[in-house]
A and B are shown apart, each in its own frame.
Chain A
């Protein structure tokens, strides 16, 4: 097994008395497409927020490429090569699509011409280059999702966290997006995705973890994880078991 690009050790996060995450440990191998599964409210987004620095963990460690990143500011984590998308899209509405992506590419390319060129490449990677000049607020939901991804890859990450990027998309849109994610992965970006759709996870992710009530329920090969009776009970409901 390749060295882990991301290692989470005994991660905990409490909001006042509410323990949103506790004792979560897992490792993501470099080059993988890694799945995070769990019912609504299980703590998946909280986990992402801790990984990307938007929330400060209450305990435990996060190691990215062997280096501790828990407690760093989000922009520093991003510069290190760990990018994320948001489940609820957050476009910069006053800007065009390419301007949105340039905000991300400026981090590596301070000169406007370079930033613009690399932003355009990011758009092309997600098949959005034809929309470069469109105002971001005029995009459809599916296009805004892709814009989220284009912006994230324009930061040139080695690890990309995708938060429910397929939610609200039609089957066709979702299929096309999945193909592009696989292509990004082939180009060397490790992917960690939170997703509700079990077929998508089992098709795309070789390894997965399952989270329930803020704790790790299972970790391993996706097929084994999905067959785990505890997982079936928690996630799919006991009727499916």
Chain B
């Protein structure tokens, strides 16, 4: 149980925020968006922060999730009960293929980032040109009589509840991996791949694991997006801006910290909203202000906001625990 504290504490905080936002649909909207983006950023960070694999193409998996749900609904009348798992499975398969290709040929660092970006851009162009996926206009999912089965609710709060569950599950999955052998191997690969391999780490297998876990969680986020907004289009679900946002949230929040990206999203998304409303008279000024703030934060917090917080939190280190046990043994 104690092992899961880094997942449960942020989840509890998110639940509290959900409670606060319950009374106001506008706040609930912001909560849903923040929790969704923050959760996907957590998934992205499992690759980037933990394994050292920077993906600039995660919108591909978000898009897969969104389009499987949308097309499953529009084309076959399928509900989320079927399309969500289908989306996750398809994302896993795609990640496996892309991962095998990239890792087989030793793509690392910038080259891996560019390759993932290329795959997502190809998907963007393909979908934008495919008639039965609505081309660049996107797809509207019709309202059904049997609304609940399609996760179609009149009010916002059920979506807030679902995204809260998604957030909690993602944190738990992330913490499960981070605090076990997989997490140890991931960090070893991030810090020195050659040394990890020489110490018996099956590098290929664990890179693929990170990629697939991250892709599946991102696809579930995309599936949630489609079910919530009943609308998908290439720009909002497959665009590169989405991938960049995940990177920004993670860097500002703290790379390599499980809950760091969540913190980044929780800070930046409401901030963007506040700036937008406060400067509504001057188009574009809010974006300038947002960018300046981003730069200041990046300069002042090299380890992200989470890194700053972490140094002030008591942290039980593995070594400290062992040394303590040794003292016990000596006694």
- Chain A interface residues (CB < 8 Å from chain B): 52, 54, 73-75, 78-79, 83-84, 86, 90-99, 102-104, 106-107, 110, 112, 115-116, 120, 129-134, 151-152, 154-155
Contacts and interface: CB of A to CB of B under 8 A. Distances in A.
Given A94-B190, A132-B319, A103 B198 contact: no
Interface string B315-327: 0011110110010
A75 B320 contact: no
Given A132-B319, A155-B200, 6 more contacts: A75-B201, A94-B187, A98-B318, A106-B184, A112-B179, A154-B199
B277 interface: no
B322 A103 contact: no
Contacts of B317: 96, 133
B190 A103 contact: no
A153 to B, nearest CB: 11
A89 to B, nearest CB: 9
A130 B323 CA distance: 7
6 contacts: A54-B194, A98-B318, A103-B201, A131-B319, A132-B318, A133-B323
A130 B326 CA distance: 10
A107 B318 contact: no
B322 A132 contact: yes
A178 B201 CA distance: 28
Nearest to A109: B181
Nearest to A148: B195
A134 B326 CA distance: 16
Interface string B161-195: 00000000000000000011100110110111011
A79 B198 CA distance: 10
A79 B197 CA distance: 10
Nearest to B182: A106
Contacts of B179: 112
Contacts of B318: 96, 98-99, 102, 116, 132-133
Contacts of B194: 54, 90
A107 B320 CA distance: 23
